[in-house]
Structure 1
Amino acid sequence: METYSTAGLPTMGRAAAWSALYATKMSRGGFTPGDQQEPFDAELRIGNLGPVKLARLQVDGCSFERSQSDIMRSSPRMYNFLLQARGNSTFYHCGHESQLQEGDFVLCDTGMPHYWLTKDASTTIMVRVEPDVLREYLPTPEQFCGLQLGRAVGLTDTVGAMVQSLTDQVETGNCAGHEGRIARYLLEMISMSYTMGFEQTTKGSAVLWQRRNDIIRYIEDHLRDPELSPASIAAGLRVSPRYLRTIFSISGERVSAYILRRRLEECARQMRNPAWNGHTLTEIAFSWGFNSAAHFTRSFHEQYGAAPREYRRQ
Structure 2
Amino acid sequence: MDRNGAESGKAARDRSPDATTPGGVSQAFEAFRRGWEAEFGQGVPLPTFTPATTADFRVKHRATRVDDVAITDLHGASVIRTDGPLTSSEDVVRLYVVQRGAWTLGGPHDRGERTISAGQFLLKHVGRPSHFQTVPDTAATVLVLPAAILKPLLGGRILTGPSNSAELRLLTAHTNMVRLTMPDLTPAGVQAAHSTLIELTKAVARRRFDDAEPVLAPALVQAAKDLADSRLADPELSAVVLARELNVSLRTLQRAFTVAGESVISYIRERRLEEARLALTAPPASRLSVSELAAHWQFADSSHFIRTFKKRYGRTPTDYARSISSARG
TM-score category, normalised to shorter length: 0.3 to 0.5
* TM-score normalised over the length of structure 1: 0.47
Higher RCO structure (Cα 8 Å, ≥6 apart): 1
* Bigger Cα Rg: 2
TM-score computed with the length of structure 2 as normaliser: 0.46
